[in-house]
Structure 1
């Protein structure tokens, strides 16, 4: 009786082992963790090593370049970039969240929905080495195919990673349009149709960094707060010609602001109140750019 008692657990053990072996044999997609079954991974770089990023999708393409810790858009326009946004994009692809290797030695990945015009991101390091991933069709509800020309492999990747990269250039651009650092500002001129108010550094108090004749401390504080927090909500026109500038009403702006740095250089901004709105159109005179803020 005692010997028969061992039969059931031994049988269960062998049955579980058999099912495990059959399951592993039926799985023909090697995981990236099983590196012995894979071609060399396409990329393994630190974010700080990336010098340029190229992205194209839906007939749009643009290039961002890093100088020090800051990023700039260099094509199709020249503009300051949103360094935090680009950092977040790069962090998704420096060590890409690839899931499976689907096929190796692929020279024509069109059967996976991958063509020359498909969404594509390229990271370029300081040695000019390039890593490109080209997006293809959906592989499942949560994954998509991607192709690496570097390894000639088709992988799957989480679709959310691909969707996190915007094809709208404005998402890549910096929303800061005002160069304002209180400690590096020698004067602020606020010019209306009838009066000019000059805000000067307050040498008697650090609580109220600026004072102005004709304005209350609360009004001065409101101006400083606006200059500190105001951001672009929409990019209207870059390098606008004279007739466009005039059409937005900048010949007679609601208010004009001049910010002077310690060397006496000024940034001039004109604001036009948008009717029935809390927003303004703003013209950066040095660039000829029009924004909505």
Structure 2
């Protein structure tokens, strides 16, 4: 084969490759064009600035990154519900064109139309007209402005056009950013409490009590997530009719450094729901009774009840003093427990776990007296038991147990004057016998060194 022939073949190959590439690009462009052509409306959701539903007259308007409703009333919009309408156009398509003759519109429920969806976007306005469902119920007949074509499309168009004001409005009972909450003033059937965040920890006023973080979170999370069940009065003239001039619950949220206030009022019970109102908005709405229950904690519920702040596995020493004796057990770096006092023996690991677990999980059953005049009435001036628990040889918990009261027993913890009731089972757990907690001592090996030699010397 000479150079001329080789050159011709190379040229043919290049032309062939170029043709394949060109055809592939054309196919991709055609596929993209067909995809756009088949879309119900060729717009992007983030380009939509207004959505109008007919015949309901609901008019949603984008306000920066949020949505508001300006008709039939002015109120905040539910962002996710409104944006779901716009997001439909990323996948909704024209399934099949049925007719292009306006004279046929009445056959498909389009003369007059059953509803309309008007979309205002950066390129103009598009209107979709809704007709009847198809005979199978799988699609709906529709048409759009600028074209006479009647086509079949997804029933989601119908469900979106038929959305109610309640579906699209902001239903939050009170709007706030949980991270901005600096304090909560809560008045309910159980009393009045102020929860204040200091150095990342919640305190209860008055009293300066440590708060149960999980209980505070429960209240705030429910306030943040709760939604109105029904709006009953858009512009109330008499709040007393709903029990809102003397609410059974009032929550004041103080937000940010300037402590801006948001207030939620809970009024009368109506059936299984309560009337409620966000003071910054006009409407009266109804909320679930389960929600109101969450807003009615008492002081005990709100207070921190755990008396220990360590894990059972972290304890490496404890001392139990009762009935005139002291039991001391220690754990070495390999995790082996030893009884050190009153004698030295290997300890039962499962029993050590039980004793230390009860310490790490110690909780208040009842707050008896935060500032007792005397400990004697509780049997704590001469306690039955004193238990000390150490983590890395540092004392973490020093508990005294006094008199018994039913299923509970009075207790104090070093560092606080308060008297509590805790579960009485501690009394049995923390007063073990040596046999309860120690392994049997190992027996000494038998002495096999006796002289067994035979004297064979002559007399």
TM-score, reference length from structure 1? 0.74
Matched, 1:225 2:221: yes
Alignment partner of 1:212: what SS?
strand
Matched residue count: 248
Matched, 1:98 2:77: no
1:280 Cα shift? 2.6
Distance 1:78 1:204, change over 3 A: closer
1:189 Cα shift? 1.2
Aligned to 1:45: 43
Instruction: Output the aligned Cα RMSD.
Output: 2.9
Matched, 1:112 2:108: yes
1:204 Cα shift? 5.1
Matched, 1:291 2:285: yes
Q: Contact (CA 8 Å) 2:243, 2:275: kept in 1 or not?
A: no
Aligned to 2:79: 83
Alignment partner of 1:274: what SS?
strand
1:182 Cα shift? 3.0
Q: Contact (CA 8 Å) 1:270, 1:284: kept in 2 or not?
A: yes
Aligned equivalents of 1:145, 1:229: Cα separation in 2: 38
Distance 1:269 1:102, change over 3 A: same
Which of 100, 119, 125 is the aligned partner of 1:123? 119
Show CA shifts across 1:209-238 (max 9, x none): x32126752653443233233221222222
Distance 1:50 1:183, change over 3 A: same
Which of 239, 247, 250 is the aligned partner of 1:256? 250
Aligned equivalents of 1:247, 1:232: Cα separation in 2: 19
Matched, 1:280 2:274: yes
TM-score, reference length from structure 2? 0.49
Alignment partner of 2:95: what SS?
strand
Aligned equivalents of 2:270, 2:110: Cα separation in 1: 47
1:99 Cα shift? 0.9
Distance 1:170 1:289, change over 3 A: same
1:46 Cα shift? 0.9
Matches within 5 A, 1:125-144: 125-127=121-123, 129-141=124-136, 142-144=138-140
Alignment partner of 1:92: what SS?
helix
Aligned equivalents of 2:70, 2:86: Cα separation in 1: 17
1:271 Cα shift? 0.5
Matches within 5 A, 1:1-293: 43-57=41-55, 60-93=56-89, 96-104=92-100, 106=102, 109-116=105-112, 118-127=114-123, 129-141=124-136, 142-192=138-188, 195-203=191-199, 205=201, 210-213=202-205, 217=212, 219-241=215-237, 243=238, 245-262=239-256, 263-272=258-267, 274=269, 277=272, 279-293=273-287
Show CA shifts across 1:147-192 (max 9, x none): 2122222111133442354431101112223123232123221134
Aligned equivalents of 1:46, 1:93: Cα separation in 2: 7
Show CA shifts across 1:40-76 (max 9, x none): 976311111111101114xx22011112332111111
1:270 Cα shift? 0.9
Show CA shifts across 1:74-123 (max 9, x none): 11111121111122222223553211112236377334221356211111
Structure with greater Cα Rg: 2
